[in-house]
Structure 1
């Protein structure tokens, strides 16, 4: 019995029983299965019955009676969490990781799902289901960077997330070795067997590594089209030597296509491109050429010269017939619509030959959050706890359910909530190394021992340790935390003198229920004095507030157009005194607007009026609506922000007025009108081009100061609707974000697309913008993307729209086994310099 089956986990660590495997390094997980079984090609499958998340169910009708693993699925709640299977691997060995998804209408809704999968923290693929029975298969080739790999599902934009199977295959030696493998995984975009004798794919046992070689005989849209006239299939039953390089299966190498008219040409779409790729062909001379016959050809780029003027002579390059020759590109930039062209040379008597090829896209590895190592150590101490088994990175691509992370490109944990999780033993030492930690909740557990030194967490503000069994004294280092606001240690067994700093600082501090814990005698005296002073100050403030209220009851507003400010908001507005923005006198604003005569807009903040200053500069005056406390905070935030920021893509902020009960923002007046006028105005002003709207979004993102508001702008650009409306969104919704989210969760993107858009857009680009918009309007700020991430998504959406104008290969970095130059998408060229030539595979 070989114990080659690896430990598998999904968010939680669930143990897979050891079972006999047909090849070392093979793992086959039947997601949603109930019992182990062997399929029709001899692969042994294990069910994920011990996995505690999600639910298992059968598909509505059997998809394949010979492969029962495809007749069950595991599906997951429609929440914001990620769900991960974690595979234990050997660091720095190469693996193929494969995930398969067969919908089978398992939920009975016929709503085709769309969601994202990642490998650890690295984006892998967007799974788009288009029918109930066609398998969606996604593969990644990786050099394992750590002892585990996590396959995670997240971010469902339609339907319900689910998975059918996960497979792991270990490669031998230097197979798929690249000089970039420490920085990039490789996504399998195409693996095709040419000259196939049927529509069936070739895989295990014909391929001992169980790669799936798709037949070129399959007919589907944009798959191997534009085939050159004179293309013919050839085959042999003779053995072909394949035991070097990527070791393609002999059965694949025993078939090929030849270009009898002198050329071989194909065109096909490559998912997730444009991008940089590892692209290699597999060739063997399987025809017997006469003594005066030769087969020589070049690889030609569409609309460009032959690559390096290099000539392929398979028989010569492979040192004989029926032997593998494997020329290709280490790093080539390919478009979404890729073309292959092989052209016979003038002195050749036979046309080109092609047995197979593979194209794998380089995917930049995201090495995860800064706190990943510490948190992995922490959860390893609680192997039986469900909360400790969520798998993957604590922050990326989505955070664990009990942590919150900031939105940095390499995130840090800012909050951990392990309240009431039945924790025992000492407070985990790993928590003291989380430099970005702001909030720590460990209350209502059974923790023992002393409170550790949290000096390594300088941002810590809130500490909850109450209702445990902690002993010892309070560390003096707590008082030295510069941002500390709340400390709760009540109902423990703490003892000793409370550090003076904790009582002197402006900290909410509760230590009741610890009979042995007490302040020093000096601190008690100081506490009485401080309490007396605070009481006196409070009385004085109440007196002043009463006087202020009486004053405003008598005063009133001259024209009644600007509302009265409640006394509870005065302290908030005093924060503006320190800002450096220009402060207009109220009389100056009244003169400029002719006492707020001409209204030019309304919003959640209030009304906007037209005005002209004494120097004839035109202004837009935004007057605060005093009915909302939130509006006051927005007023403070907007002045604070806009007084510091100047950007060509932002309307120029001129200043503010805050006097008596008037709270006003002053902007430069824009003659071209507002975004709303260009989306909802008359036809002659309306922007109906989706690309132009995305360009607006791209420009606006470059001057972005508020991610949430920008998400609302994106939804306006998609729908043409304003942010708030009862008429547009129906009786159930008032706000654009909740209206759009409801439609997207039901997979109905058409319902939110502006009907006035020109019908030339690509729906995938609208999906991409919609998804990023909904991420921007997440309720919790830490769940929202960064501006750089938003801008990247917008630019990728624009690229999707422009792909129709892109044809052929954009640039070639290398053709051969030992070369690379530059990459148009990733900077992966700095490792070394390489020659631009064909080389024998043995020289890799």
Structure 2
């Protein structure tokens, strides 16, 4: 690895399943996930060839249909590179490789499909934080058990990867390739201060950079290259390239997550020395996509000059799953095309999830010390609901039932309930709640309310008699006082208020149930 140094501010590196915190050879500080997630089992990975400490363990989860989420702290409206990695290494001894889904909040980020137990699966995204946390969730196992090896969060300064669509879609990485690399090793931090991983074009695997044109050669320089453009690729990447000495560069590769609309940029710099003036002009060709070909690239003129970065590309382009492309020199060019690096991302439309998500997150945050149930994270309804919640799905994902019976809740009845207007059932019985019954009149679907066996005070609110669907109202064994609204008598509901010694029925001999 490159020479170690102190990591950049804001970096978060989580060793999933790891037992201790440590600093690796790159200077990156790794944190155990022990206090960051309430579910799953830490497992030591057998038979792994990786020498990186973070891949000696993983965290595995049951195939129970639930989702399992990490909530990562972020700064609202800041842009981040988010990376999740998965090294299976046969941890469960199963004959079937795992297959499950990775979610970013309520949005399906990507499937995670293991084809080779020894190969690292990596998923990266560029996201604009919409709140103070980003939830990364695993769910929907088709085979095997969901698992994760690492989670990494890297702040992106300035305008890096800014798009007009970032409030409604994030960028999922399909390819980030360093051409002309001297070895199969990737380039990353500290050579890239943002810790992007630039995969070497020397890596050999199926459908990755095949069909290279004859006459493709590597070139390099040890001279500084000016890289201060929009995305600031690292100088080390720009110091190598491939050149089509016979007039063209051709490649074919599969793009994870495509077909779809994407963000695609190439990085060029003239790094070859020449004793006589020469030109390097070429054009891009993609079969079946004639509109994608842009104006002629003249590296020396566009940069301008040698050892300077030129970054042409598309902020929104439709690309296929199998991408074949060629750079071909023009007739008036004395040299063949050059390519130092490129990146391709797919736009993933952000699913809004439940409109009740913010209120539910606030409610759960009151009780994080009381148990795993308050730390499940992600959207309360999607792709699966929290263990104590039921949701409807049509026409929107809405919370319709909350069951927090016997959870040792203290303080007042959570005020967030008032904002949950689609609630049909509330069970807060057998806790230590105090204060008055809140105004739930906006929840016109309420049919079952269980507040019994608490320490609630104040009167029985008159709005309860106006809830059109109310069938059960359990208020027994509290400290309620005053008179019971007369209208409740005629409703024919199951109503229990025993044990409230100061609660009375107006003009009627006291009883405890209706």
- The TM-score bracket by the shorter chain reads over 0.9
Task: Please give the alpha-carbon distance, in whole angstroms, between the structure 2 residues aligned to 1:150 and 1:447.
Answer: 30
Residue matched to 1:169: 154
Instruction: Please report the TM-score for the alignment, with normalisation by the length of structure 2.
Output: 0.95
Return closer, same or farther for 1:21/1:424 CA change in 2, 3 Å cut-off: farther
Q: Is the deviation greater in 479-488 or in 225-234?
A: 225-234
Q: Is the deviation greater in 145-154 or in 53-62?
A: 53-62
User: What SS does the corresponding residue of 1:448 show, helix, strand or coil?
Assistant: strand
Query: Contact conserved, 2:268 with 2:341, CA < 8 A, in 1?
Result: yes
- Deviations 1:517-542 (Å, cap 9, x if unpaired)? 232226989x99xx9xxxxxxxxxxx
Superposition misfits of 4+ residues, deviation over 6 angstroms: none
How many residue pairs get aligned? The number is 508
Task: Please give the alpha-carbon distance, in whole angstroms, between the structure 1 residues aligned to 2:289 and 2:140.
Answer: 41
The equivalent position to 1:472 in structure 2, one of 444, 454, 458, is 458
As a proportion of its length, which structure holds more strand?
A: 2
Residue matched to 1:87: 72
The equivalent position to 1:403 in structure 2, one of 367, 373, 389, is 389
| Deviation of the 1:409 alpha carbon | 6.1
1:53 aligned to 2:39? yes
Residue matched to 1:735: none
1:497 aligned to 2:483? yes
Query: Contact conserved, 1:271 with 1:336, CA < 8 A, in 2?
Result: yes
Residue matched to 1:72: 57
- Deviations 1:328-378 (Å, cap 9, x if unpaired)? 011000111112211111111111111000001001112321111211222
Residue matched to 1:697: none
Task: Please give the alpha-carbon distance, in whole angstroms, between the structure 1 residues aligned to 2:483 and 2:157.
Answer: 64
User: What SS does the corresponding residue of 1:280 show, helix, strand or coil?
Assistant: strand
Residue matched to 2:176: 191
Query: Contact conserved, 1:34 with 1:47, CA < 8 A, in 2?
Result: yes
Return closer, same or farther for 1:422/1:306 CA change in 2, 3 Å cut-off: closer
Residue matched to 1:234: 219
Query: Contact conserved, 2:283 with 2:293, CA < 8 A, in 1?
Result: no
Return closer, same or farther for 1:500/1:246 CA change in 2, 3 Å cut-off: same
Task: Please give the alpha-carbon distance, in whole angstroms, between the structure 2 residues aligned to 1:27 and 1:485.
Answer: 50
Residue matched to 1:462: 448
Return closer, same or farther for 1:34/1:110 CA change in 2, 3 Å cut-off: farther
1:432 aligned to 2:418? yes
1:255 aligned to 2:225? no
As a proportion of its length, which structure holds more helix?
A: 1
Task: Please give the alpha-carbon distance, in whole angstroms, between the structure 2 residues aligned to 1:352 and 1:238.
Answer: 20
User: What SS does the corresponding residue of 1:391 show, helix, strand or coil?
Assistant: coil
Return closer, same or farther for 1:55/1:308 CA change in 2, 3 Å cut-off: closer
User: What SS does the corresponding residue of 2:172 show, helix, strand or coil?
Assistant: strand
1:210 aligned to 2:195? yes
Residue matched to 1:41: 26
Instruction: Please report the TM-score for the alignment, with normalisation by the length of structure 1.
Output: 0.58
> Which is greater in Rg?
1
Give the alignment of 1:143-182 within 5 angstroms: 143-182=128-167
Query: Contact conserved, 1:262 with 1:343, CA < 8 A, in 2?
Result: yes
Query: Contact conserved, 1:270 with 1:336, CA < 8 A, in 2?
Result: yes
Residue matched to 2:304: 319
Give the alignment of 1:253-292 within 5 angstroms: 253-289=238-274, 291-292=276-277
Residue matched to 2:498: 512
| Deviation of the 1:307 alpha carbon | 4.3
| Deviation of the 1:394 alpha carbon | 1.3
Query: Contact conserved, 2:48 with 2:118, CA < 8 A, in 1?
Result: no
1:121 aligned to 2:106? yes
Task: Please give the alpha-carbon distance, in whole angstroms, between the structure 1 residues aligned to 2:310 and 2:361.
Answer: 44
Q: Structure 1: give runs of 5+ residues left out of the alignment.
A: 1-19, 532-844
Return closer, same or farther for 1:481/1:21 CA change in 2, 3 Å cut-off: farther
Query: Contact conserved, 2:284 with 2:293, CA < 8 A, in 1?
Result: no
| Deviation of the 1:461 alpha carbon | 0.7
Task: Please give the alpha-carbon distance, in whole angstroms, between the structure 2 residues aligned to 1:302 and 1:459.
Answer: 57
User: What SS does the corresponding residue of 1:220 show, helix, strand or coil?
Assistant: coil
Residue matched to 1:418: 404
Task: Please give the alpha-carbon distance, in whole angstroms, between the structure 2 residues aligned to 1:340 and 1:444.
Answer: 66
Task: Please give the alpha-carbon distance, in whole angstroms, between the structure 2 residues aligned to 1:113 and 1:94.
Answer: 31
- Deviations 1:544-589 (Å, cap 9, x if unpaired)? xxxxxxxxxxxxxxxxxxxxxxxxxxxxxxxxxxxxxxxxxxxxxx
Task: Please give the alpha-carbon distance, in whole angstroms, between the structure 1 residues aligned to 2:27 and 2:13.
Answer: 11
Task: Please give the alpha-carbon distance, in whole angstroms, between the structure 1 residues aligned to 2:131 and 2:432.
Answer: 33
User: What SS does the corresponding residue of 1:139 show, helix, strand or coil?
Assistant: strand
- Deviations 1:499-524 (Å, cap 9, x if unpaired)? 12211113111112222223222698
Residue matched to 1:453: 439
The equivalent position to 2:380 in structure 1, one of 394, 400, 414, is 394
CA RMSD, Structure 1 to Structure 2 (Å): 2.0
Q: Structure 2: give runs of 5+ residues left out of the alignment.
A: none
User: What SS does the corresponding residue of 1:374 show, helix, strand or coil?
Assistant: helix
Return closer, same or farther for 1:192/1:232 CA change in 2, 3 Å cut-off: same
- Deviations 1:198-234 (Å, cap 9, x if unpaired)? 1111111111111111111111111111211221111
Give the alignment of 1:368-387 within 5 angstroms: 368-386=353-371, 387=373
| Deviation of the 1:80 alpha carbon | 2.1
The equivalent position to 2:186 in structure 1, one of 185, 192, 201, is 201
User: What SS does the corresponding residue of 1:431 show, helix, strand or coil?
Assistant: helix
User: What SS does the corresponding residue of 2:460 show, helix, strand or coil?
Assistant: coil
- Deviations 1:7-45 (Å, cap 9, x if unpaired)? xxxxxxxxxxxxx96111111111111112222323221
Give the alignment of 1:550-561 within 5 angstroms: none
| Deviation of the 1:273 alpha carbon | 0.9
